[in-house]
A and B are shown apart, each in its own frame.
Chain A
Amino acid sequence: MKLLDRWKILMGGISLLPMAGTALAQANPLPLADASWQPNEKLQPPVFADTLNPPDAVNIYAAHRSHSSHRSHSSHSSHYSGSGGYSAPRYYNPPATSTRSYTAPSTSSYGAGGASSSSGGNTLYQQSGSTAGTGSTSRTRPTNEQKSNLVVRVQTALTVRKYYQGAIDGLMGKATRGALMAFQMDSALTVNGRMDTPTLNALGIRIP
């Protein structure tokens, strides 16, 4: 009698999970169960990976701080009004492109700081104007606001180097241009009154 027949007799013809064998031969894993059973995919028991000799057995927390407590106790909360601030969830959507989008400067532009400019309403913290690029490597043409910001930095640099004594206002006027050219001359740069890269480098201004 063939082996298989003998085995079947011995085992009384027990049959187990009918699909057990096939599941193992698929290139894509199949569930090992009857078609009508629906497991809760979201809540499968986690499978434990072996910890005994993992490839990267390094204590990533060796330099970590405990963060064991919170900041010091201070009665700061009473300083903020209950109104304003967070109401409905605003999901943060990263910009669609990798560059920051620059909008036109708002009308409440660079007055001296401190006075409340435009809306005090919804936001706790007053940010006048909207965006101004930070850390972006945009190669699009700079907006007026960006250019103005750059002029401010140039004026500041020229001020501390004693080339410029005027108001730091972001406007490339005669005085500013004159100071720039004087600096370029003293620094053996091309004297063109423009904020070109060698000039900016010499002033210690990094772009962006």
Chain B
Amino acid sequence: MLRKETHFEICNLTGPRLLKVITVNEFIQKGLAVCAGEASFHDLLLWLPAATLQDDPQLLSLPVGGFLVPDALTTPTQDTLLVLHSPKELDVVQPGDVVALTPNSTLVRVLYRRGSDSNLLFMTDRCNSLCLMCSQPPKDIDDHWHIEENLRLIDLMDPGEENLGISGGEPTLYRDGLLEILAKCKTVLPQKSLHVLSNGRLLKEPSWIEALAALQHPQLSWGIPLYADNATEHDHVVQAPGAFSETIQGLYNLARAKQIIEVRVVLSRLTTPRLPELAHYVFRNLPFVRHVALMGIESTGLARKHHEALWIDPLDYQEPLSQAVYFLANRGIPVSIYNLPLCLIPPHLSHFARQSISDWKNLFIDACQQCAAIEHCSGFFKSHTDRWQSRGIHPLSIEAFGAYARSAH
């Protein structure tokens, strides 16, 4: 599980910078075409292993924004050059990544990681809900600077095909910034498919319909959580009275704007008892959703405080899960199960399970080392603890895993 930041020795950083890491060869080959949008040489951070630097010290005269030496620095450099060297962890920053630097700090954040399937544009720490299981507790601060950062980040990403998330907090809180970012993604990153995570509540405003319909992004989808088929239960989970109504209105507005919609449900003690009924509600009232994601709970953030109310062993909700999944699948609504280890999913549900935990967040425990399914399993969140561990975790033998493979379509 790869972290998103590490520390470097940094020389001569005079202001916050957003830089694209590029090797010499890629620089020669592609030049600024390595970036999807507008960029100049000053946005580049040249990846210069110590050996290369020794061989060709005049590379330091390249008019780029800075240099990154992924080793110890043995060759002296000019006082004015921005140089990063001696990283604390080697794999965190790699060529193709976009990193953010801040003066007076040795922290280097990776805002974009080449080849990762979980890059995202972080919009804000603010949120208008306070879900009991919130994995990123909101902060009431003015952080609209994220918008500018994201607009710049878009220019520096690789241009190719990949999934890009947009999330927070609640992204729709910065409506104009979000719309601007979506428009820019359409122009600068047309090959990337965008998935916005939002509670949908602010989308109840009808003006969103026209704004979103006008966007016409070819690959944009929205992931909206819905936790119950009734207001009382849903509002309780998200700790916001009126949220259910607003979310349903938001969902209908997204449908009017012809958006692609995914409904997400975090599986907990509060949501699993009426999961089949929720599936029924989705089918009768929201059949335009293109996908339903049923997600194992992440035991971080506010979830820890509410362990008692939320925790239920997945072995104990296999029945309602199966009923809900097949109800939807039989009616032509695609369903997936995320974030549950395969050993906790009955074989007949395994072909709905996806390997879904971001590469930088997942891990396996000791019991997993002998498991035949380890290549296909989403594993655990890094925040996983014993309190949140099912009694059913066990390695699957090759025969047992064969049962899973056979039941797949």
Chain A residues within 8 Å of B, Cβ to Cβ: 42-46, 48-54, 57-74, 76-77, 79-80, 82, 84-86, 89-92, 94, 100, 109-117, 120, 123-135, 149-150, 152-153, 156-157, 159-160, 165-170, 203-206, 208
Within the assembled complex, what's the spacing in Å between the Cα atoms of A174 and B265?
Answer: 67
Chain B positions within 8 Å of A127 at CB level? 39-40, 42-43, 152
Whether the Cβ atoms of B334 and A159 lie closer than 8 Å is no
- Is the C-beta of B278 less than 8 angstroms from some C-beta in chain A? no
Check B256 against A43 for contact (C-beta < 8 Å).
Answer: yes
Interface size class of B (residues with CB under 8 A): 35 or more
Write out the residue numbers on chain B whose beta carbons fall within 8 Å of the beta carbon of A94: 183, 187
6 closest cross-chain pairs (CB), A and B: A114-B82, A110-B63, A79-B102, A85-B145, A66-B356, A51-B332
Besides A91-B180, A91-B183, A131-B38, 9 new A-B residue pairs in contact (Cβ under 8 A), listed by A number: A46-B252, A50-B332, A51-B333, A68-B338, A72-B3, A85-B145, A85-B147, A114-B66, A130-B38
- Complex-state Cα separation, A122 to B163, whole angstroms: 31
B105 within 8 A of A: yes
Given known A-B contacts A46-B255, A86-B144, A90-B180, A135 and B291 have beta carbons under 8 A apart:
no
Cβ 8 A contact of A48, one of B25, B206, B288: B288
Given contacts A89-B176, A124-B148, A132-B32, A167 and B61 within 8 Å (CB-CB): yes
Nearest Cβ in chain A — how far from B95, in angstroms?
Answer: 15
Query: How many angstroms from the CA of A91 to the CA of B159 in the assembled complex?
Result: 21
Q: What CA separation (Å) do A205 and B177 show in the bound complex?
A: 37
- Known contacts A70-B122, A115-B12, A160-B56; A206 and B29 CB within 8 A of each other: yes
Binds A, one of B14-22, B309-317, B386-394: B14-22
Measured between beta carbons, the chain B residues less than 8 angstroms from A59 are: 291, 334-336
Q: A156 touching B5 by the CB < 8 A rule?
A: no
Q: Footprint of A on B, CB under 8 Å? A: 3-5, 12-18, 24-25, 27-43, 56, 58-59, 61-66, 78, 80-83, 100, 102-105, 107, 109, 117-118, 120, 122, 125, 135-136, 139, 141-145, 147-149, 151-152, 155, 159, 163, 165, 167-169, 176-177, 179-180, 183-184, 187, 195, 197, 206, 209-210, 223, 252, 255-256, 262, 266, 283, 287-288, 290-291, 293, 295, 298, 300, 331-336, 338-339, 354, 356-358, 360-361, 381
* Contact sample, A vs B, 27 pairs, CB 8 Å cutoff: A45-B252, A46-B255, A61-B262, A64-B195, A65-B356, A67-B120, A68-B357, A70-B136, A76-B109, A80-B145, A113-B63, A114-B83, A115-B14, A115-B80, A116-B14, A125-B152, A127-B43, A134-B33, A134-B34, A135-B159, A149-B32, A149-B41, A159-B59, A170-B63, A204-B25, A206-B33, A208-B33
Residue of B nearest to A82 (CB): B142
A50 CA to B82 CA in the complex, in Å?
A: 59
In the bound complex, how far is the Cα of B293 from the Cα of A65, in angstroms? 10
- Bound CA span A134–B361, Å: 33
A51 nearest CB neighbor, chain B only = B332
A45 to B334, CA, bound (A): 23
Contacting pair A67 B42 (CB below 8 A): no
A64 CB contacts on chain B under 8 angstroms: 163, 195, 336, 354, 356
B residues near A57, Cβ cutoff 8 Å: 332, 334
Task: Please name all residues of chain A whose beta carbon is closer than 8 Å to the beta carbon of B197 when the two chains form the complex.
Answer: 67
Q: Is the CB of B42 within 8 A of A129?
A: yes
Decide if A159 touches B58 in the complex (CB within 8 Å): yes
Q: Hey, which chain B residues are within 8 Å of A49, CB to CB? A: 287-288
**Cα distance A157–B339 in the bound complex, in angstroms:** 46
Question: Once the chains bind, are A71 and B122 in contact (CB under 8 Å)?
Answer: yes
* Complex Cα–Cα for A13 and B142 (A): 68
B35 CB to nearest A CB, Å? 5
Which residues of A have CB within 8 Å of B354?
A: 61-64, 66
